[in-house]
Chain A
Amino acid sequence: MIDREEILARIGAADDAASLEALRVENLGKQGKVTQLLKTLGKMSPDERKTEGPKIHALREAVQGALDARKAELDRAELEARLKTETLDLSLPTPAAPQGSIHPVSQVMDELAEIFADLGFAVAEGPEIEDDWHNFGALNIPEAHPARAMQDTFYIAQGDNEEGAPQVLRTHTSPVQIRTMMRDKPPLRIIAPGRVYRSDSDATHTPMFHQVEGLVIDRNIHLGHLKWTLETFLKAFFERDDVELRLRPSYFPFTEPSAEVDVGYSIENGRPVIGGRENWMEVLGSGMVHPKVIANCGLDPDEWQGFAFGCGIDRLAMLKYGMDDLRAFFDADLRWLRHYGFSFLDTPTLSAGVGA
Chain B
Amino acid sequence: MKFSLEWLKQFLDTDASVSDLADAMTAIGLEIEGVEDPADRLEGFSVAKVLTAAPHPDADKLQVLTVDTGDGKPLQVVCGAPNARAGMKGVLGQPGATVPANGMVLKKAAIRGVESNGMMCSTRELELGDDHDGIIELPEDAPVGASFADYSGASPVFDVFITPDRADCMGVMGIARDLAAAGLGTFKPVEVPTIETDGSCPVEIRTDDSEGCPAFYARVITGVKNGASPEWMQRRLIAAGQRPISALVDCTNYLMLSTGRPAHVYDLNKLSGPVVARRAKAGEKVLALNEKEYELDESMTVIADDKGAHDIGGIMGGEHSGADEASTDVLLEIAYFDPDRIAKTGQKLMLSSDARTRFERGVDPAFMDDGLALLTDLIVKTCGGTPSEVTRAGTPPMERPTITFDWNRTAALGGIEVPRERQVEILESLGFTVEGDDVTAPTWRHDIEGPADLVEEVARIVGFDQVPSTPLPRPDGVAHPTATRSQVVERRLRRAAAARGFNEAITWSFIPTSQADLFGGAPNLVANPISEDMKAMRPSLLPGLAAAARRNLDRGASSVRLFEVGRRYLAEGEKPTAALLMAGERSARDWDVGKATGFTAFDAKAEALALLEAAGAPTDNLQLFMDAGETWHPGRSAKLGLGPKKILAAFGEPHPELARALDLPKGTVVAEIFLDQIPQPKKTERARTPYAPPALQAVSRDFAFIVPNDLPADQLVRAIRGADKKAIVDARIFDRYEGNDALSLAVEVTLQPEAKSFTEEELSAISKKIVEAAVKKGATLRG
Report if A128-B509 is in contact (Cβ < 8 Å); known contacts: A92-B592, A228-B470: yes
Q: Does B86 contact A (CB under 8 A)?
A: no
B588 interface neighbour in A96, A118, A224, A345, Cβ under 8 Å: A96
Q: Does A246 contact B (CB under 8 A)?
A: yes
- Who on chain B is nearest to A282 by CB? B31
- Do the beta carbons of B593 and A222 come within 8 Å of each other? no
Chain A residues whose CB sits within 8 angstroms of the CB of B504 once the complex forms: 100-103, 106, 337, 341
Q: How far is the CA of A157 from the CA of B453 in the complex (A)?
A: 37
- Who on chain A is nearest to B534 by CB? A207
Can you list 9 pairs linking A and B with CB atoms under 8 Å apart? A116-B482, A146-B360, A156-B526, A169-B537, A207-B508, A223-B464, A227-B469, A248-B29, A256-B452
Interface residues on B, range: 35 or more
- Do the beta carbons of A291 and B450 come within 8 Å of each other? yes
Q: Does B227 contact A (CB under 8 A)?
A: no
Q: How far is the CA of A208 from the CA of B537 in the complex (A)?
A: 12
Chain B residues whose CB sits within 8 angstroms of the CB of A331 once the complex forms: 548, 551
Q: Does A119 contact B (CB under 8 A)?
A: yes
Chain B residues close to A by CB (< 8 Å): 26-29, 31, 163-166, 339-341, 343-344, 347, 357, 360-361, 411-416, 447, 450, 452-453, 455-456, 459-460, 464-465, 467-472, 474-475, 479-484, 487, 491, 494-510, 523-530, 534, 537, 544-545, 548, 551-552, 555, 557, 559-562, 565-567, 569, 573-574, 587-588, 590-593
Q: Which 7 pairs, one residue from A and one from B, show the smallest C-beta to C-beta distance? A: A98-B501, A224-B415, A249-B29, A257-B456, A251-B163, A332-B548, A224-B470
- Do the beta carbons of B460 and A249 come within 8 Å of each other? yes
- Do the beta carbons of B465 and A225 come within 8 Å of each other? no
Q: Does A52 contact B (CB under 8 A)?
A: no
- Do the beta carbons of B501 and A97 come within 8 Å of each other? yes
Within 8 A of B (CB), among A200-242: 201, 207-208, 216, 220-229, 231-232
- Do the beta carbons of A337 and B591 come within 8 Å of each other? no
Q: How close is A307's CB to chain B, nearest CB, in angstroms?
A: 10
* Prevailing SS type, chain B contact patch: mixed
Contact indicator per residue, chain A 316-348, by CB within 8 Å of chain B (1) or not (0): 000000000000011111110110011111010
- Do the beta carbons of B456 and A154 come within 8 Å of each other? no
Q: How far is the CA of A223 from the CA of B480 in the complex (A)?
A: 25
- Do the beta carbons of A129 and B555 come within 8 Å of each other? no
Chain A residues whose CB sits within 8 angstroms of the CB of B592 once the complex forms: 92, 95
Chain B residues whose CB sits within 8 angstroms of the CB of A106 once the complex forms: 494, 504, 506, 565
Q: How far is the CA of A189 from the CA of B472 in the complex (A)?
A: 10
Within 8 A of B (CB), among A143-175: 143-147, 149-150, 154-158, 167, 169
Name, among A129, A222, A345, the residue most crowded by chain B CB atoms within 10 Å (CB to CB): A222
- Who on chain A is nearest to B31 by CB? A248
- Do the beta carbons of B506 and A105 come within 8 Å of each other? yes
- Do the beta carbons of A288 and B31 come within 8 Å of each other? no
Chain B residues whose CB sits within 8 angstroms of the CB of A116 once the complex forms: 482
- Do the beta carbons of B574 and A128 come within 8 Å of each other? yes
- Do the beta carbons of A249 and B28 come within 8 Å of each other? yes
- Do the beta carbons of A224 and B495 come within 8 Å of each other? no
B527 interface neighbour in A96, A156, A225, A341, Cβ under 8 Å: A156
- Do the beta carbons of A128 and B562 come within 8 Å of each other? no
Q: How close is A116's CB to chain B, nearest CB, in angstroms?
A: 8
Q: How far is the CA of A120 from the CA of B477 in the complex (A)?
A: 11
Report if A150-B340 is in contact (Cβ < 8 Å); known contacts: A103-B504, A120-B474, A249-B28: no
Chain B residues whose CB sits within 8 angstroms of the CB of A333 once the complex forms: 551-552, 555
- Do the beta carbons of A144 and B528 come within 8 Å of each other? no
Q: How far is the CA of A98 from the CA of B582 in the complex (A)?
A: 12
A229 interface neighbour in B472, B497, B548, Cβ under 8 Å: B472
A225 interface neighbour in B164, B470, B484, B593, Cβ under 8 Å: B470
- Do the beta carbons of A347 and B506 come within 8 Å of each other? no
- Do the beta carbons of B481 and A117 come within 8 Å of each other? yes
- Do the beta carbons of B343 and A344 come within 8 Å of each other? no
A117 interface neighbour in B411, B483, B523, Cβ under 8 Å: B483
Report if A250-B31 is in contact (Cβ < 8 Å); known contacts: A146-B360, A331-B551, A332-B551: yes
Q: How far is the CA of A143 from the CA of B344 in the complex (A)?
A: 8
Chain B residues whose CB sits within 8 angstroms of the CB of A338 once the complex forms: 503
Report if A344-B469 is in contact (Cβ < 8 Å); known contacts: A157-B526, A338-B503: no
- Do the beta carbons of B470 and A129 come within 8 Å of each other? no
